[in-house]
Amino acid sequence: MEMSQRGRKILVPAAFLPLIVSACTPEPITSQGEQVSDLYTIFSVIAAVIFVVVAGLIGWSLIRYRAKPGDDELPPQFHTNLKLEITWFAIPQVIVIGLFIATAFVLVDVNEEADDPAVTVDVEAFQWGWRFGYSGTDVTIIGIPQDPAEIVLPVNEPITFVLNSDDVVHAFYIPKFLNKRDVIPGKENRFSVTIQEEGTYQGFCAEFCGLLHDRMPFTVQAVSSASFESWLEGQGDDDGDS
Ligand SMILES: [Cu+2]
């Protein structure tokens, strides 16, 4: 009786592992981020089930086969159980192949560039700030440590970011996108997202790039298409100064 209660004390919290793990992931606000988040959840649930089964079996065999008073000899020893060995080889293979396929599908989807993005933002990173150019307009928003950039983007429309660096390697990171891309001098990186929720989201440089690396935050404000259009027009009137 005491054994099963103790077992339950360990196994019940273990069942909450996926919740604990997924709590570490920011709530995604893009359709691509949602796919990544779902993938995390699948991994977490499978990992939690494996943990519970393995820990449970170890616990059970420790208790069930423990030495009892008067047990002076080793229990019968045996080796080779082909069926069992094939089973415990096959199960992890199936799980890993399944996770690999699921990951490949998500990666292909997430990396797919929008055919006809509503907005293309040319992002240039430099020591230490960002230059955001709205392609097809002369609107440019520049952020420096004393005055971080605030950019505005529409929701429910595909947006493509084109990343370039003036100097060293930086990384473009908006945690709520669940997406982080290196910004490499001489190599253009591109990705597309569709933001699904209006709001203000913080962005960072996520690659140590020198003294003021930590002073490169920027803000993304996601608004309705109509608000975005009028904001963009307003920026044009100001000669694109932020
Ligand atoms: Cu940087």
| pLDDT digit string, tens, across residues 99-126 | 999 999 999 999 999 999 999 999 999 9
Whether residue 23 is predicted with pLDDT greater than 70 in this model: the reply is no
Is pLDDT at 47 greater than 50 in this prediction? yes
Quote the pLDDT of residue 76: 85
Q: Which residue has the tokens 């799980």?
A: 95
Beta strands in the chain (DSSP E): 119-126, 129-134, 140-143, 150-154, 158-165, 170-174, 179-183, 189-194, 199-205, 218-223
Tokens of 18: 């996926």
- Give distance in angstroms: CA of 132 to centre of ligand 1: 14
Sorted by sequence, the CB contacts under 8 Å of residue 147 that are 6+ apart come out as none
Residue ranges near ligand 1 (ion) with Cβ within 5 Å:
170, 205, 209, 216
Torsion angle of C-alpha atoms 184, 194, 235, 229, degrees rounded to 10: 160
**DSSP type of residue 148:** -
Q: Which amino acid is at 45?
A: V
The helix (run of H) or strand (run of E) holding residue 150 is: strand 150-154
Distance in Å, CA 127 to ligand 1 centroid: 6
Phi–psi pair at 139, nearest 5 degrees: -80, 125
Fold topology of 2-111: Helix Hairpins (1.10.287)
Domain with CATH 2.60.40.420 in the chain: 119-237
Domain 119-237 CATH class label: mainly beta
> Is pLDDT of 230 > 50?
yes
Check whether 238 has a pLDDT greater than 60: no
Q: How many other CB atoms sit within 10 Å of the CB of residue 231?
A: 17
Q: Across residues 224-241, what is the average pLDDT?
A: 81
Q: What is the pLDDT of residue 3?
A: 46
Rounded to the nearest 5 percent, the helix, strand and coil shares of the chain are 45, 25, 30
Tokens of 212: 């003021």
pLDDT at 237: 66
pLDDT value, residue 21? 61
- Is residue 239 over pLDDT 60? no
- Name residue 192's beta-bridge partners: 160
CATH 1.10.287.90 region(s) of the chain? Answer: 2-111
pLDDT of amino acid 111: 93
Distance 20 CA to ligand 1 centre (A): 31
Q: What is the pLDDT of residues 150-179, one digit of tens each?
A: 999 999 999 999 999 999 999 999 999 999
- Residue 20 clears pLDDT 70, i.e. is over it: no
Cα of 122 from ligand 1 centre, angstroms: 16
Task: Output the pTM of the full model.
Answer: 0.81
Residue 240 pLDDT level (bands cut at 50, 70, 90): very low
Residue 39 near residue 46 (C-beta atoms within 8 A): no
Average pLDDT value over all residues in the chain = 90
What is the per-residue pLDDT for 16? 67
Tell me, in angstroms, the distance from the centre of ligand 1 to residue 168's CA. 8
Confidence of residue 185 (pLDDT cuts 50, 70, 90): very high
In this structure, the dihedral spanned by the alpha carbons of residues 88, 94, 100 and 103, taken in order and rounded to 10 degrees, is -110
Rounded to the nearest 5°, which phi and psi values hold at 39? -65, -45
Ligand 1 centre to CA of 1 (Å) is: 59
